[in-house]
Amino acid sequence: MATNENLPPNVIKQLAKELKNLDESPPEGIKVGVNDDDFSIIYADIEGPAGTPYENGVFRMKLLLSRDFPHSPPKGYFLTKIFHPNIATNGEICVNTLKKDWNPSLGLRHILIVVRCLLIEPFPESALNEQAGKMLLENYEEYAKHARLYTGIHAKPKPKFKTGAISESTTALNVDQTNSSALNADQKNTAPGAALPVISASPSPLAPITVTRGNGQDQPSVAPVETGVSGCAASAATTTTTIRKEGGLAKAQADKKKIDARKKSLKRL
């Protein structure tokens, strides 16, 4: 089950909606998956666009979302080795959408589509891989040959993401968020040091039921029952007093019986 430790609850909620939408209606050539332990890591398999040196390849990438997302852009990395001017040898992606052109309103779908478009139209002027950038500008055929070689070796089809996994994770996450919100609300409404109320589905059999009349109808009402630590103490004290009274009464009755028996014995004498 995915957790929300690395992202604020409001971001998690929006993210869950986006991921579910991507799962049910994925962009062309893109399949998204999630990390079951952390929603701040988004995975995607990108199919190499037709007519490019990356055709027939499947490239796995990831987006790392920081805690202040979406105010700051995610960081993108290719996990599959690729020969591309705008993708460093360590997999880092250089694209303006994830840098100076970032806007908090941009969603995951937009980011993934831009990354796939980068495979169609590289930008050698802002190359992270200088060799690929220089080769693309000077000799496209040589660049394409290298790119196809990398694609054939490294970009083989990956094990597919589990079908419906995102929907399951987002559903579970929404339930966790709802439960957490309800718990936090209960904790805020409970004064510090106050005893928690006892919730009962039916009136306590010890609570006297009275009938009041209002609006021409009989309305049963239940006398309030003390709960919590103080309530338990009061109940215990009442019970102890009752036991003592009952014990004293029983002792008095026994003494009376003894006196009556003695009187009867004296009369016989």
Q: Which residues are designated catalytic? A: 94
Could you give phi then psi for residue 87, rounded to 5 degrees? -130, 115
For residues 205 and 127, what is the distance between their CA atoms, to the nearest angstrom? 79
Tell me the torsion sign for CA atoms 166, 169, 172, 178: negative
Q: How many CB atoms lie within 10 A of CB 18?
A: 16
What is the SS3 assignment for 187-229? Answer: HHHCCCCCCCCCCCCCCCCCCCEEEEEECCEEEEEECCCCCHH
For residues 262 and 15, what is the distance between their CA atoms, to the nearest angstrom? 91
Looking at the DSSP bridge assignments, the partners of residue 87 are: 84, 93
Amino acid (one-letter) located at 215: N
